Structure 1
Amino acid sequence: MIHEDVANTIDILLRSGHPNPQVRTVDEKGEVQITQEEPDITPNPASFGRNSGGIVQQPKGWRASGKMTPVTPFAGKRGSNLSSASEFDRLLDASWTQPEPKGDKIRVPGPNGEDFPVYIYPYGIGRSQLEQVIEVLNLPIVLTKDLDNADVVVALRSHLKNQSKLRQVAKMRQVPIHGVKSNTIPQITRTLQRLLGMDEAKTPETADLRLFTRGGNDDELEALEEARLAVEQIVLPKGQPVELLPRSPKVRKMQHELVEHYRLQSDSFGEEPNRRLRIYPA
């Protein structure tokens, strides 16, 4: 029995097919006779469910364990999703009014007859950054976790676009919303100052370094002072770019925010640990 194309025969066997080998025999005269054997492809019902050794194969996996369960009807799944959505909406509604210490709002008249302080409900903005700006600049602002107690909502614009529920709730309670472009100290500062009706200076004033420091340690203050002097003594008056000393990523972020306060552009360049800021004139 000869298989002319071994590779093709193996391929047929792997696909559970029946190969068609040659049968070669030698007759009485010594000549080779070649015949083609026809495979027996008649199915044998008794062989179904048996392996090649004739042993009955048992079902395996989930079918054998009896743990298979019917697929949940589509309507049931839909109802489950609706239930989950309702629960989410309930939790979201509850988040607008978080309990706070009881007490009446304390109001004092501002220089132009405003009612101070202003109660702000922050959304998507770092609370620690807000508190830092309010404390350093001594702004008449109080942060609240209760939307019902708020005079205004201050929200990050990118979050506000995707949060229609907040817009609906604020509109229903007649609470105005002010958007903040980015979660940086300069942007937060400008938003709060506009909210209070404070005139924005055409020329940025000397920055209070306490606004931009996180830990208030000497290394941070030294790096911020370096950036401030570079801006005020070289970049602004002379219109020349300046490169600062290498700093850590955390400190460079503070320097970037300080440069943004002066409405200038900056970027980081170089490889760690020598990566540093370059400040450009307007």
Structure 2
Amino acid sequence: MDWLITAAGAGIVLFAVRDMFHTIWHPSGQGTLSRLVILMVWRGSQLLKRRAHQSSVMGPVALLSVILTWGVTIVAGWTLVYWPHMAEGFSFSSSLDPAQRSDFLDSLYLSLVTVATLGYGDIVPQEPWLRLTSPLQALIGFALLTAAVSWVLQIYPALARRRTLAIRLALLQRAGAARLLPATDSSSSATLLQSLAGDLTQIRVDLTQYAETYYFRETDAVASLPAQLPFARELARAGRESAQEELRLAGTVLAEAVQDYAHLLAQQFPLAGDSTDDVLRNYAADHGYAEP
């Protein structure tokens, strides 16, 4: 029975480590536990009836919740690894009162201290396999810290690219770009549409690898891609209706980029719709913005 508990603890630790890897370093970013925690935070904010423009902290809160969940899961798993062997597998400092000790609490304390790489030395493993596994936990604790920092450093540049595209689209909409597009030089107009298609393709890659970026809301509609993306479709439509072949091609490329992005949204997130326009409308509504 003792070894079953230890094996269960090791399984929990491996599950948490696997989730960290798939969330941060896997190209598709498909961590099961992290996605569940983020979705719970997102749905919780909706149950509290917080509109997107009233609450822009759900993304950071979701990240923090996932990191804490990883930490708690790792600590709990190693607690189960140590617990059945605490009495005979460890030596205790003479300053510890035997009457006030508890195997489970001692295991939890040792797990917390080890994952934080503090190493007080008041509880020391004696059995050979424990002397090997305890430093392994410290290494995993360091990996958790590294993972948290790496995650933040990877996500925020992706969010910056998304905001930049949204602001570009907002400025083009103010300038009446859809109306003026056919009248401008076809080469410059085509270059503009191709540039927008390239930016949207990069954001699609970002969303594939960092699906959690979906749950970051913007307080300003100008910087919100869900609010501004329908205008990219309008620009693509204007380009495709042009009499100039180069501009029609660029409009088609942008239209395909928008459609591909909408297809990804419909696949990975609960955004049902019979058409690209429906998906984009639901995308904006899910972030608290009415259709532009």
Q: Greater share of strand residues, 1 or 2?
A: 1
**TM-score, with length taken from structure 1:** 0.21
Q: Give the structure, 1 or 2, with the largest relative contact order (CA under 8 Å, sep 6 or more).
A: 2
Q: What TM-score do the two structures reach when normalised by structure 2?
A: 0.20
